[in-house]
Amino acid sequence: MGLWDRMRRIARSRRDEDPGAWRDQMDTTVREQQSTLAQLRRALADLSTNRRRVELQLNKFQQQAGQLDATAQERVASGDDDGARAALARKVSLEKAIVDLEDRHATLLADEQRLTATADQVQTQIEDFRIRKDTLVARESAASAKTEMHRISRDNGAIAGELDDVERHTRQAEATAAAYDELTDPTDAASWDRTFEAASLEEGDSRGPKSLPE
């Protein structure tokens, strides 16, 4: 399964899982892709080593072929035809080996280039995947923080409403207490009623006087 197939599968399944599970799955995907990349790098190193060995062998055979060609010319110049033919026969054999090595070198080089491109592609996908994952984590954190902010604001609003009720009843109680203090004659019932009515009307709540003890 490719990297983006994994990402799509994670995106489809995350809604059915706990909030932190998708992060763990993405981390696991990244680790798996990093493991794949490490295998590609090792295979690439092996190919590169083999290519260099072939190059060394190829250079060696080419030098030997050149030396045999020079030897054959020397033998011809000295009249040693048999020696010249032997040197040329060895040169022909080396040239066949050189052709085989050149083919092997070309194959190894092409494989190395393809594997390098694949490794680079996987590396790019991992980096892009990690950036997108980190972006999603940041966006989710921001969304969670915003949701919590709204919850706190809602709770604060409810608390503020309760405090308003407490403050209203407190003002009512304070007005009632002030009415007691302003009574000049506690035995004057009419004075009590007038004072309590004034305090109640001022607060907009008729419960003030009714709340006084009889």
pLDDT digits 0-9 by tens, 38-74: 999 999 999 999 999 999 999 999 999 999 888 888 8
pLDDT digits 0-9 by tens, 14-44: 555 555 676 777 788 888 888 988 999 999 9
The parts of the chain modelled with pLDDT lower than 70 are: 1-20, 22, 153, 155-162, 180-214
**pLDDT at 27 (0 to 100):** 80
Same domain assignment for residues 71 and 110:
yes
In whole angstroms, what is the distance from residue 102 CA to residue 110 CA? 12
Q: Which of 150, 176, 201 is the last residue of a domain?
A: 150
Host H or E run for residue 121? helix 81-182
Work out how many domains the chain is built from and give that number.
2
In whole angstroms, what is the distance from residue 214 CA to residue 211 CA? 9
For residue 52, give its domain range: 3-150
Same domain assignment for residues 27 and 79:
yes
The answer to whether residue 15 is domain-embedded is yes
Please compute Rg for the chain using Cα positions. Answer: 47
The answer to whether residue 157 is domain-embedded is no
**pLDDT at 106 (0 to 100):** 94
Q: Are 174 and 203 in contact (CB under 8 A)?
A: no
HSE-up of residue 13 (Cα within 13 Å, Cβ side): 13
The answer to whether residue 100 is domain-embedded is yes
**pLDDT at 213 (0 to 100):** 44
**pLDDT at 210 (0 to 100):** 45
Same domain assignment for residues 33 and 68:
yes
The answer to whether residue 87 is domain-embedded is yes
Same domain assignment for residues 29 and 85:
yes
Q: Which of 98, 115, 150 is the last residue of a domain?
A: 150
CATH classification at residue 30: 1.10.287
Same domain assignment for residues 64 and 166:
no
Measured at the CA of 150, the angle between CA 144 and CA 151, to 5 degrees, comes to 90
State the burial class of residue 195 (Cβ atoms within 10 Å of its Cβ: 0-12, 13-18, 19+).
buried
Q: What is the pTM of this model?
A: 0.53
The answer to whether residue 146 is domain-embedded is yes
How far from 174 is each of 187, 196, 206, CA to CA, in Å?
A: 21, 12, 14
Same domain assignment for residues 68 and 170:
no
Same domain assignment for residues 89 and 175:
no
Same domain assignment for residues 8 and 82:
yes
